[in-house]
């Protein structure tokens, strides 16, 4: 039965994807909104066909430039977040060469970063800054890698700081918004630590078998929580900012995994307070 389901899901995704690929390629060469909107339509169809139910709490910031810093659990994060609004992603360079998924990443207008070469950070930050300045909302998986989904790894500060400076320079601000993802239920039942590997993709897991398992099973519930955006002032302490963002994502992800978000009070992050903290770091 699961094989029949997998075949049906793949057939539908293929029928939807093949005609959209050339349309998106053409849209990438234009200045219109289609190149941003078409991936959203595809991701929403993919979520519906695979059986991914997204619960969204909070809302994305309306201010621009906007950099979104998120935790990273699975390749599925791209489809989940991509179904919410027009977004592009910061991805590791290896993704560009992956069969099928590399093509999708390029069509999503991803920015690729070589995490093994520190010298590449400046080039990536410049490209990221250009995209942010053009009004694109960009998602950075700030841990630098995916994990089991049961925790949030320490955030890396280098690209956050470099991107902020690339887009805002010495006298401008940029909005940075924390975002938490948590996969909570499988076939309507609480997933728990022991079953989260059904969607978590990390370590030396192979992509195709993992992808096929998700397609066969379906029926996954995921919670997306938008934290309160920080207006990052120029000259601030990037490490302090990174710790603040990491702490908020860890708090929200933990509450989402426990499915206790309705009772969780607002976090300590406030745009004005964070702005003041960054200014005091600069002055102190």
Tell me if 167 sits within 8 A of 174, measured CB to CB.
yes
The verdict on whether omega for the bond into residue 33 sits within 30 degrees of 0, i.e. cis, is: no
Helix (H) or strand (E) holding 53: strand 52-57
Residue 151 has pLDDT above 70, yes or no: yes
Residue 276 has pLDDT above 60, yes or no: no
What pLDDT, in 10s, does the model give residues 225-261? 999 998 887 677 888 999 999 999 999 999 999 988 7
Tell me if 179 sits within 8 A of 69, measured CB to CB.
yes
- The reported pLDDT for the residue numbered 8 is 94
Handedness of CA 236, 73, 136, 95 (dihedral sign): positive
- The reported pLDDT for the residue numbered 270 is 47
Query: 12 to each of 34, 64, 78, 94, 120, how far by Cα in Å?
Result: 22, 36, 19, 28, 39
Residue 277 has pLDDT above 90, yes or no: no
- DSSP secondary-structure letter at 247? H
User: pTM of the predicted model, to two decimals?
Assistant: 0.89
Task: Region of 153 please: left (phi>0), alpha (psi -120 to 50) or beta.
Answer: beta
Residue 114 has pLDDT above 60, yes or no: yes
By CB atoms closer than 10 A (0-12, 13-18, 19+), residue 209 is exposed
Residue 141 has pLDDT above 90, yes or no: yes
How confident is the prediction for the chain on average, in pLDDT?
86
Residue 92 has pLDDT above 90, yes or no: no
Q: Which residue has the tokens 């002055």?
A: 283
What average pLDDT does the segment 177-206 reach? 92
Residue 271 has pLDDT above 50, yes or no: no
φ, ψ dihedrals at 138, nearest 5°: -115, 140
Question: Best-predicted range by mean pLDDT among 114-118, 123-127, 243-247?
Answer: 243-247
What pLDDT, in 10s, does the model give residues 54-81? 999 999 999 988 999 999 999 999 999 9
Q: Which two tokens stand for residue 204?
A: 């030396």
- The reported pLDDT for the residue numbered 118 is 66
Residue 17 has pLDDT above 90, yes or no: yes
Residue 216 has pLDDT above 50, yes or no: yes
- The reported pLDDT for the residue numbered 249 is 97
- The reported pLDDT for the residue numbered 168 is 62
Cα gap 13→10, rounded to integer Å: 5
Per DSSP, helices labelled H in 83-225 are 101-107, 120-133, 158-168, 192-195, 207-217
- The reported pLDDT for the residue numbered 122 is 72
By CB atoms closer than 10 A (0-12, 13-18, 19+), residue 255 is buried
């Amino acid at each position: 039965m699961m094989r029949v389901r997998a075949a049906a899901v793949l057939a539908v995704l293929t029928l939807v994807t093949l005609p959209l690929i050339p349309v998106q390629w053409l849209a990438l060469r234009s200045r219109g909104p289609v190149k941003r909107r078409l991936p959203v339509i595809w991701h929403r169809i993919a979520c519906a066909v695979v059986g991914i139910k997204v619960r969204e709490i909070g809302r994305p910031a309306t201010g621009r430039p906007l950099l979104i810093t998120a935790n990273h659990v699975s390749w599925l994060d791209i489809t989940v977040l991509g179904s919410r609004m027009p977004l592009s992603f910061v991805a590791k360079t290896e993704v560009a060469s992956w069969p099928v998924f590399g093509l999708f990443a390029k069509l999503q207008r991803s920015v690729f970063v070589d995490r093994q070469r520190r010298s590449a950070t400046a080039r990536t930050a410049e490209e990221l800054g250009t995209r942010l300045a053009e009004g694109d909302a960009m998602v950075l998986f700030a841990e630098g890698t995916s994990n089991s989904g049961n925790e949030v790894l320490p955030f890396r500060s280098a690209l956050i700081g470099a991107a902020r400076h690339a887009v805002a320079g010495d006298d401008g601000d940029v909005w940075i918004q924390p975002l938490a993802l948590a996969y909570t239920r499988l076939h309507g039942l609480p997933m728990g630590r022991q079953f989260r590997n059904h969607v978590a993709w990390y370590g030396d897991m192979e992509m195709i078998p993992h992808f096929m398992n998700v397609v066969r099973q379906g029926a996954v519930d995921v919670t997306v929580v938008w934290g309160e955006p920080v207006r990052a002032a120029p000259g601030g302490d990037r490490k302090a900012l990174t710790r603040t963002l990491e702490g908020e994502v860890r708090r929200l992800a933990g509450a989402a995994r426990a499915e206790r978000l309705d009772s969780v009070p607002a976090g300590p992050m406030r745009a004005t307070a964070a702005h003041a903290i960054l200014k005091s770091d600069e002055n102190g």
